Structure 1
Amino acid sequence: MGKKKLKVSKMKMKALYIEKCKDMVKKRRQEMSSSYADLQNVTLTAAEKDQNSLPCYFEEKTPKTTFEMELDDNDAPPNISQCESEAMTEENQYKEKDQASNVLPENQCEESNALPYIVEGTSEVTMQPEIQNLGHRIIDFNHFTSELVKISQHKSLFKCGLSTMKLISEHRIGLQSEYTYVCMMCNYKNKIKSSLDDVNKDAVAGIMAAGCGHAQLKQFSAAVGLPIMSEYTYNKTQNDICRDWEDTAWDEMKLAGEREREEAIKEGKVTKDGIPMIDVIVDGCWSKRSYRTNYAALSGAAAIIGRRFGQVLYMCVKNKYCCICARAQKKQESPKEHECYKNFDGASTAMESTIITEGFKQSIDMHGCTKQGKCCLCNL
């Protein structure tokens, strides 16, 4: 019984170590074959991914050996270190063959028309945008989409479309942008504006109506990711808006005067010379409070309002101070050419009465009627 037990244990021991060495070699072959396939852009099939099947360039060259052992009591147990060394030697041989197969011929390396390797993998490749960090923009959606449709239908022999158009540049003035697209197939170029309306004018008009200025518009634009409008563009746009507002105000005052004039004629309020007479209310203000003691305001305004419809018929602003003129006078220099708003040199208390007098004098020229008014300040 003792001899049989020793014989079985020796055979199992040697067979286990041999199987372990074969598994190590097979695992190493599979790792090298997968790396080689990725490098050569080889797509492994389901049969090649099987552990039992290997690519053709890694087929085993040596036949499988079967171990038939007949051990007696005098036979020595198998040498474990020798089995491990044989397995490592076989692995090194396959490693040297793999390194030699990865070396490309010289003529293939020097070939200029050779395409680069494309490694296929399961991980998704994130495409980087052509122009980064553009932020947000204000666009007219209908206009922009219709222009994109037009450029996608441009005539070409290459059957180009929107997918072949590339954004190459953006020309921006404040919040208004103009984009340049170029077709990568036929080199067709076209420009698209973000909006047909003047977005800068709309933004500045809105910020002025809210009682804010360039600093507040800058903070708002930065908060929502819009481009920052420069101070030069803001001031230029603001001046254009002020001129437009002034022209609109004069037009509205003329329309209000015509309406008051027609009603006065219907009521029969006409002078001996045939000039209509309308009832008005006048009011004025200063740029700072006087508290009935300090009448030193540098600016004042007054308006004449029609009593029947409550619309403004005349208004004016008087200023006693100009910053550019004051600086030039302090330096004893002549002021540079500028738009001066200084139009009054008298006392601050005389600003309101001067404006109202000018309004009454211009009533016939502006509205074709005379005015008889009531002062809101003194209830006269």
Structure 2
Amino acid sequence: MKRYRSVSTGRYISESKKRRIDCFIENNVRKIVNDHSYSFRPASQCEYVSEPVSLLENDDGNTSMSQNNSTENSNNLCSDELEGEEVDYDYETETNSNWRQGRRIVELGFLVDKLCEGCAVCHSSIPLNITNIVHEIRYGLGSLLTIRCQLCDGMTVVPTAKRHRSPKESPWGRKTWDVNTKLALGMLHSGIGERKVANLLSTLNIPPCSKTTLKKREREIGQAVEEIAHSSCSDAAVRERELTEESPVSASFDGGWQKRGSGKSYSSLSGHASFIGKKTGKCIAFSTRNKYCRKCDLATKKGCSAEDHGCRKNWEGSSKAIEADMCISMLKNLERNDVSVGTIIMDNDSTTISRARAEVKPDL
């Protein structure tokens, strides 16, 4: 199926969407570009480009792309940034000025170093001029800028920020932008969601990230955050043991649910709990319980097996029994790490106290 790339967004569009854009242009209709919810644009800027670009291999191993191989003065796009990607550009048309609209988040030092490397076509030592930007493709908060060389009119793709290769992603796919991963980490740290992030970026006149991009980066950063959290709790537990004069340590415990119970009904799908050391005031253990996984639930409804994913479903019992189970689980984990808890400071939860004394330590 032939695909087309939108000039305004830099993304591939289907043939049906191309026909709708043609209709907008013919009737001079103004429409909202889907990923620029903060601004209106005339339909004339919602054009598409469909002329294919062929890949050429240079002597130095770089991948260059030219629009018309039959002409000697054709514009060349040379970069390792787009190696292996299907690109449809039309550089003979008017230069795209959409990059002048709104604000961008860039790494100044990294961008200056890339500009100073010069043209990747003629290998000139003259730095590229950022005012010669021809096209911009956005990937969340990161962008690939296509800059025209002043000497040979060749096209060089320059990234605006650093990128990395995610461990679970394909080694031959696109690299992940650091700024998008940091955005997902900041979203988790501040306790907001995709809509709040989009509202914040739109207020700053920064083109926002899509929900899909943020969710991918959230899954990427989640595992690292969890590993660091466990490591931090282990160090705090050892420090608590060292500061305690007697052998068993004292810690406060409490749990909670995402849905409030009425006293008679407890139907929360998840719960969390933690131990806080008395001497250090730091978290020495934490635990979570989840009764629901969306992917597993969808697979069950379809009658098929779920694909490989980071499933968080780890509880099948009642929601009321979550707190007691998490307390016992953390006490056992602390015992395995040579941290014995002798006194628990908590509310008068008779179920948790009785189970802890029966399964972990009778003199607790």
Normalising by structure 2, we get a TM-score of 0.58
State the shift of 1:253 in Å: 0.5
- After superposition, the C-alpha distances for 1:255-293 in whole angstroms (9 at most, x for unaligned) are 1012112223xx2x24xxxxxx22111111122222322
Partner of 2:98 in structure 1?
133
Query: For the Cα contact (< 8 Å) 2:111–2:160, is it kept in 1?
Result: yes
Question: What is residue 252 of structure 2 aligned with on the other side?
Answer: 281
Cα deviation for residue 130 of structure 1 reads: 3.3
Shift of 1:354: 0.7
Report the CA distance shift for 1:140/1:254 in structure 2 as closer, same or farther (over 3 A).
same
The residue aligned with 1:362 is 333
CA distance in 2, matches of 1:156, 1:237: 35
Shift of 1:242: 1.6
Decide whether the 8 Å contact of 1:164 with 1:184 is kept in 2: no
1:349 corresponds to which residue?
A: 320
What is the letter of the counterpart of residue 333 of structure 1? G
2:282 to 308, 311, 317: 311
Unpaired runs of 5+ residues, structure 2, are: 1-93, 164-177, 354-364
Q: Shift in Å at residue 176 of structure 1?
A: 0.8
Superposition misfits of 4+ residues, deviation over 6 angstroms? 154-157
1:104-139 CA deviation, whole Å, 9 max, x = no partner?
xxxxxxxxxxxxxxxxxxxxxxxxx93312222111
Cα distance 1:163–1:311, how it changes in 2: closer, same or farther (>3 A)?
Answer: closer
- Say if 1:165 and 1:364 are closer, same or farther in 2 by CA, change over 3 A: same
Matched, 1:179 2:179: no
Q: What is the percent sequence identity of the aligned residues?
A: 26
Whole-Å Cα distance in 2 between the matches of residues 146 and 342 of structure 1? 46
Match of 2:214 in 1: 234
Residues 266-323 of structure 1, C-alpha deviation per residue, up to 9 Å, x if partnerless?
Answer: x2x24xxxxxx22111111122222322223222211111111111111111122233
Does the 8 A contact of 2:293 with 2:312 survive in 1? yes
Deviation at 1:229, TM superposition (A): 1.5
Alpha-carbon deviation of 1:221? Answer: 2.8
Give the whole-Å Cα distance in 1 for the aligned partners of 2:188 and 2:295: 24
Equivalent position of 1:64 in the other structure:
none
Aligned positions of 1:184-333 closer than 5 A: 184-186=150-152, 190-196=156-162, 198-264=178-244, 267=245, 269-270=246-247, 277-329=248-300, 331=301, 333=303
Number of matched pairs: 241
**Is contact 1:156–1:186 with CA below 8 Å preserved after alignment?**
no
Contact 1:257 1:313 in 2 (8 A): yes
Please give the residue correspondences for 1:59-74 in structure 2 after superposition, counting only pairs within 5 Å: none
User: Aligned with 1:321: secondary structure?
Assistant: coil
Q: Distance in 1 between matches of 2:155 and 2:302?
A: 57
- Going by fraction, where is helix more abundant, 1 or 2? 1
Contact 2:116 2:126 in 1 (8 A): no
Amino acid of the structure 2 residue aligned with 1:177: S
1:167-226 deviation line (CA, Å, top 9, x unaligned):
334343111112233423245664432123711122222233333222222233333332
- Structure with bigger strand share is 2
Matches of 1:290 and 1:161 in 2, distance apart? 64
User: Is residue 145 from structure 1 mapped to residue 125 from structure 2 by the alignment?
Assistant: no
Q: Kindly indicate whether the alpha-carbon contact (under 8 Å) linking 2:256 and 2:323 is maintained by their aligned counterparts in 1.
A: yes
Would the aligned equivalents of 1:165 and 1:184 in 2 still touch at CA under 8 Å?
A: no
| CA RMSD after TM alignment | 3.3
Structure 1 gaps of 5+ residues are 1-128, 271-276
Which secondary structure does the structure 2 equivalent of 1:315 belong to? strand
Q: Distance in 2 between matches of 1:177 and 1:368?
A: 50
TM-score (norm 1): 0.55
Larger radius of gyration: 1
Alpha-carbon distance in structure 1 between the residues aligned to 2:317 and 2:345: 21
Task: State how far apart, in whole Å, the 2-side matches of 1:334 and 1:164 are.
Answer: 52
Stretch moving more, 247-256 or 171-180:
171-180
- Contact 2:252 / 2:346 at 8 angstroms: preserved in 1? yes
Q: Quickly say closer, same or farther: Cα 1:349–1:156, change in 2 above 3 A.
A: closer
The code of the aligned residue for 1:133 comes to N
Q: Residues 328-339 of structure 1 correspond to what in structure 2 (within 5 A)?
A: 328-329=299-300, 331=301, 333-337=303-307, 338-339=309-310
- TM-superposition CA deviations, 1:228-265 (whole Å, max 9, x none): 3222211101111222221110111011012112223x
